[in-house]
Structure 1
Amino acid sequence: MKKLITVVVLLVLALAGWWFSGPYLTVHGLATAIEQRDTSRLERYVDFPRVRVSLRAQISDYLVRQAGPGVAESPFGALLYGLGGQLGGAAVDTMITPMGIGALLQGHVLYKRGRNELQGGDAYGATEPAQPLKEARHRFERLDRFVVDVDRGPAEPPLQVVLEPQGLRWRVVDLRNAIPAP
């Protein structure tokens, strides 16, 4: 009987350790994929369809708040909302893909090279890797939601990268505060 209780306790502890270490392992893998500009590896850690839906909603909300209530009442305003939503959705669909993120990371390399932020000061050397999660803060919001706060400066709220479990792994499912407040 004691052996059975010991096995059950060890199994519960192992399961709890796996559950609570999962988000940290995902954040580490995500940071490594970003630093190495590995878009195929990045795809393992990000649920791109859910992130796109979230960003489309944030863009629509931003457009409505920017335009104000008076614009929505006119037929021309409704047309503008629809057009803005279509253009914003198309931009999100293009950029929030592994290839779109790869293009952003490549743009980061060109930006760093232009600013002469190179490893060892060698003109042909590699650029300093992108490390957006280096100073990030982590916390469990709930047992099934983990949030990574990434500082963007004193004037803006932190970008919140939300992870949730999907099957046996944790993945990024939402980016909060991605669109600035009006």
Structure 2
Amino acid sequence: MKKWLTIALVSFALLAAGYIALPRYAIEQLEMAARDENEEQLQRYIDFPALRDNLRLRLQRKLRESVNGDVPEEFREFLAAGVNLFVSPLLQQLVTPEGIGELLRGGKDLREFELELYRMSSSVSGDVVDVPESEENTWQLRRWRFVGVNLVSADYGGDTTARLRLILERRGLRWQLVDLHLLGGEKEDE
């Protein structure tokens, strides 16, 4: 009986270790593919349709929140349709293996990426969007953690600040990038 219990515990420990190690391995593979400019490998670890959809939905939500009181209710759906006409082609052009690879390689194009994404939303809403200057040109993985059973968050940035958060989701045995958040240079909480 003790032998079977030991085998079961060891098997469970190995499965748990593998489950915890797989997202870290996926993050390393994503970094390596970006560093080597390997577009095929990037496509393997990034779910581009899901990433574009998540970015589009977030931009739409921010736009709705920013113009909520300024636009009459009967025009809100019309505005949302107009935003889709702008946002979808823009994301198709920006969220590519090359674009994400450049973003992961060091953030040197983060400011241009932010300006391009928010230029459209600020021109529609009339708000001026303040995009902070990027101090770093090379990013490192600051931390990663599970945020759900099938979700992992990985923060990238300079010495003490996180500038980019990647969200990876488990798809079978593979973990893929499904969302990213541009952070405002949050200090790490140890």
What TM-score results when the alignment is normalised by the length of structure 1? 0.69
Using the alignment, how far apart are the partners of 2:108 and 2:182 within structure 1?
A: 25
1:2: which partner in 2? Answer: 2
Using the alignment, how far apart are the partners of 1:145 and 1:33 within structure 2?
A: 21
1:165: which partner in 2? Answer: 170
Paired AA for residue 35 in structure 1: R
Paired AA for residue 40 in structure 2: S
Alignment of 1:92-171 (within 5 A): 92-98=91-97, 101=100, 133-151=139-157, 158-171=163-176
> Contact 2:47–2:176 (CA<8 Å) still a contact in 1?
yes
Once the two structures are superposed, residues 111-161 of structure 1 have per-residue CA deviations (whole angstroms, 9 ceiling, x without a partner) of xxxxxxxxxxxxxxxxxxxx865142212223322111223899x974321
1:50: which partner in 2? Answer: 50
Which structure 1 residue ranges, 5 or more long, are not aligned? 111-130
Paired AA for residue 138 in structure 1: W
> Contact 1:162–1:175 (CA<8 Å) still a contact in 2?
yes
Which structure 2 residue ranges, 5 or more long, are not aligned? 110-136, 185-190
> Contact 1:55–1:178 (CA<8 Å) still a contact in 2?
no
**C-alpha displacement at 1:6, in angstroms?**
2.5
Indicate the structure whose relative CO is greater, using CA pairs within 8 Å and at least 6 residues apart: 1
Aligned residues: CA RMSD: 3.5
Using the alignment, how far apart are the partners of 1:92 and 1:27 within structure 2?
A: 23
* Structure (1 or 2) with the greater strand fraction: 2
Using the alignment, how far apart are the partners of 1:149 and 1:105 within structure 2?
A: 11
Q: Percent of aligned positions with the same letter in both sequences?
A: 28
What TM-score results when the alignment is normalised by the length of structure 2? 0.66
